[in-house]
Structure 1
Amino acid sequence: MNKLDNIIYISVPEHIELDVGGFTLDRDRLLPVESTSGADRYNIEDLSWEQIVAAMLKILAYAPHHDDADYYREFITTISPDLITDLTQTAILKTRNGDLEVAEEIFLALCGLQPHDIPASVNLALLYEQVADRAAEIDDDASQEAIEKVLEIYHRVFAADDVPAEAHLNAGYFYARHGEPERALEHLRAYCDEGDDDEKIEEARRLIDEIESQNLSDTQFKEAYDFIRMGREADGIERIREFLASHPTVWNGWFVLGWGLRRMERYADARDAFNTALEHGPRRTDTLNELAICSMELGELDTARDLLIEALRQEPENTKIISNLGIVSLRQERTTDAEGFFRAVLEIDPSDPIATSYLAELNGQ
């Protein structure tokens, strides 16, 4: 279904004053309204400026090049000068609460309302990163689609002039996480040159040192990551083994090997790779979670639980970790604990499909 299917267009009613909050309406332009009843059955008595603004925002979200887009932008910003701030705060809150679908529409509307505003685009990119992370374990296609959206946004952002330093920092982290170390270095260095937050600069420099010292810009490492991300696990494993032959102490390499093996359901081999990653590197949440999944599939439920609890201490609201604790609890026949974990997930993210499915199963639905 097209997101704009319920938008209808009406003439400016004769009884309405053309001056609205300092904006002069054009009677030759139709006003958009969202309605499920169709234009013929719409009751003009129900019309409100809030409805019109909401419809304009929806059009700007999904059709930012609409013929009347500039007219809508001028109308909204004139009669509601504080709306951009209010919408931004609402979208950020929705994102934190895990309501990503609503947050996405608000951020899209903000981008349509301010097509040249870089912070609005960066906020949308950060949202799509969360979408990609959420989908990674259940729908590779959806995860990849979200990643492509992030790449498209950053391509557009960095083609502009006067890019804020914060955009470089966010992009640097994104590229580092997604197997693009050269791009990550470019943006992290830019942030170190242009940023003014000493703590963030120090963190960026630490990541730069990590990338440089561990040879993460090596072609074999990049190819291995890309192959596994695209579902070509066997090719990725071959490449990362070649990389590890030359760089046997690089923990990220062992992590990528474990990731590929786990996706191929070679859990014992993946467990060994993740353990080696922990020997050479930090006990990060992602590594602990991946190792816990392998332990769980190998029947080592107490070990899996301990690893997940350790990961949860680092990221108390990580729904992936909490869901996996629920699954471990189920396999340990600790049904009450499992239900508690899945409910905790839904408190953070009411639309989480894994927790919803397991709770429905537990409740016999």
Structure 2
Amino acid sequence: MKFKIDKYLLRKTEELAFITVKKDGDFHLDGYEIPKEGLNVPIKNEVLVKGIKEKTAQEGLNSMSIADAMIYIIGIDAEFKYNPEYKKFLSALEKKVNFNVRSYAGYMSRKYFELGEYTDALIYIKGLITLYPDDIEGLYNYSIVCQEVATTYQKDGDANAMNAFLLEAGEKLEEIINMDENFALAYYHLGYHYYNQSQYIKAKAIWEEAMKLGLDEDTIAEIQENLGKMDYKVQYEEGYSLVFQGKFEEGLEKLLPLEEEYNDWWNLLFIIGIAYKNMGEIDKAMLYFEKILMIRPRQVDTLVELALCEASSFNMDRAVELLEQAAKIKEDPEILCNLGMAYLNTGDIDDAIYYIERAYELNPEDEITISCMRELDNYRVN
């Protein structure tokens, strides 16, 4: 099983020490053969310190404390080089004594979760599903703990870590559904992941499926409330998708009814403008782009699209003006190329050279920029 969040857990290895157990040493476990080169076994620092203080070296080095630390390190790093040996050790221990690895890892995860120690809770449950990847309940609990850890990173202002744990949780919820299509709570939580990623069509579909699978009345009421609140977002996404599939008229049928209530929603106005632009209705497209600039005068994409509309209507001076505004806000190769080509069409070769060469400096691999450079070379030759 693959995980995306190992790098955020590696610091927890600082809480472990490693002791080399020799093949011919005093430590033995029936059913497990120590490799001839010995085995580096983990033990938690707190356990080791306790043993030293009590002057009982073996207190820190016993099968149960080793097993606990092995599960812990497996949970921290699923690819740790000694994991295959640790799995053999744990298997032998289960056979020798009344010790259930799966139950123990689950218990420790719940214990730390109840204490609010979410990272430790995550490590134990991650150890469990690494050892038992077919454990659907464990996988579900892992996704829930990932969400809690994401919340802690959100409070700390670490957006990258927060997003990594949310993505991990979402992917594991999808795995659960693939393993068990009737796991209602996985659908319920996955709906929120899609919603928070602005994938409203998917959120609607997954929540509707969740309600068919026997959730309690309060949860169903919560889902129904969410569906009602996001209905317009679903309609927007449907229209947006149709426009970018080239189905402009169908897209507008979805989008235009939203305009009356959401006339200051610039994203909506932008997609409507794009649809009209691609249908060749330039005047209507320009009207929508101008509406956006009244709300957001520095919206770069809108400035560029309006400039392209002006250029297609042969209003090159206005196109240059708009593209200059966009370039001041965002020095982007595509914007600079458009500005350079606009200057080229007005006969201002020097400014055309400046902006296109600047675009090339920023991204010499960009195909549009390379094409503009070739066009520029034709003017230089002439």
The two structures have a TM-score, normalised by structure 1, of 0.49
Structure with the higher helix share, 1 or 2: 2
Where relative contact order (Cα < 8 A, 6+ residues apart) is larger, the structure is 1
